[in-house]
Amino acid sequence: MSKNQSENKTRNLIIAMLSMLLVVLLDQITKFWAVTNLTNVPPPTQETERFFMFTLVYNDGGAMGTSLGSSTYYLISSSLILLFVLYYAYINRDKRSFIFPLALISGGAIGNIIDRVRIGKVIDFIDVDFFDINLFGYVLKRWWTFNIADAAISCSIVFLILHLIFSKENEKNDELSGSTMPKEEIPNPPSG
């Protein structure tokens, strides 16, 4: 490995760690704000609901209203997943398109783990009304309340999925065109 590659990997790790810490910090600061300012605010009624509002909710389940076990189950499973994501980020530290979203996922996981360790539940407060969902009898009139950690995790997962889909599509196109080299590395044909 060249010195330049080593420096790039180190730089990527530093940027990833700073990004992860930023998510944790923003998550915890906004949760502190939510608990301080929304604790005695009555929950919204159908008449007071707006597209975007702040509603304090303590979630002892998982993402999107799942309830697969106790808060301890979610603490243990999210800690194990965090270790896997951190390991995967480390071994892919030369790929910015992976390490940055993995850092945001890690920061989100840490933010929610802090809540579970501290109070046994996750603090959610961002309340948004997206389109209604009616799927096989399951009806969702309002989106699940979430926090900064959840947003970092969800957006990063969507980015990774789209990146994987389109990078696979680019590989297929390269294979079909008979070249596996990136376009900027394809030599020009000789002239004359």
DSSP labels for 23-48?
A: HHHHHHHHHHHHHHHHTTSPPPPTTT
- Taking CA atoms, 192 is separated from 90, 186, 188, 189, in Å, by 49, 18, 12, 10
What is the SS3 assignment for 50?
coil
Active site residue 124: yes
Q: Which of 27, 115, 127, 150 is catalytic?
A: 150
DSSP state of 63: G
**In this structure, how many other beta carbons lie within 10 angstroms of the beta carbon of residue 172?**
10
Q: Which of 124, 127, 129, 174 is catalytic?
A: 124
Active site residues: 124, 150
